[in-house]
Structure 1
C-alpha cells in the first residue's frame, strides 16, 4: 500500500487547501465556519503524520538522514501551520511564524522531490 506517495501527497495538498480556507473564512469574519474547518484540518494533520510515519518506516533505509530531516521538517510545518492559525485567531503577531513556515515548507518540499520516492525532477 505504501510503495507510493499518493495518500501522503493527497493529505498534505488537502491540508494546505484547508489551511487557506481557514484563513479566508477568518478574514471574512465567519468565525464558526473557520472553527469547523480548522477542526477538519486537525484531522488531516493526523492523517499526514500517519501516512508520513508509514512511508518513513517503509523507505527510510534508502537514505536515513535525509528521510529523517524530511520527517522533522514535515512535523515543523504542521506545528507552524497550527501556530499561525491559533495565534492569528488571538490577534497576535504571526510574521515570524509565517517566515519559518514558508522556509521549512520549501525545504521539506525540496527534500520530497530529491528523495527516491519523489518525482526525480531534481536528479
Structure 2
C-alpha cells in the first residue's frame, strides 16, 4: 500500500485554531475598551487643564485691567464650562465631560486654586 501525503488541515485542527483566536479576542476586547476609555479621559483632562490654567492666569493677571476670556476650544471633551465674562468675584469651578467611551466628569476648582481632578 502506498501512503498519500496530507495536503491541508483537518477539521479538528481548524476548530482548535478558531477556539484559540476566539479566546484571544475575548481577552483583548475588554482590555482595548478600557485602554481607549482611559486615553479619552486623559485627553479631556489635558484639554480642560490647559483651559483652566488660561482662565486662572487671565483672572489673576494684575497687568490687565479688563478680563477678556475666550470660550474653550472643545475637541477631546464633550463639554467644558465657558468662562467668558467671569471676574474674580464671579469665578467658579470649571467642569468638563469626556467624550464616549469614557464620559468621565472632570472638575477644576479655580476659586480655591485646586488642581483638576477626575471625579468617579
- TM (norm. structure 1) is 0.38
- TM (norm. structure 2) is 0.38
Q: If you compute each CA radius of gyration, which structure gives the higher value, 1 or 2? A: 2
More strand by share: 2
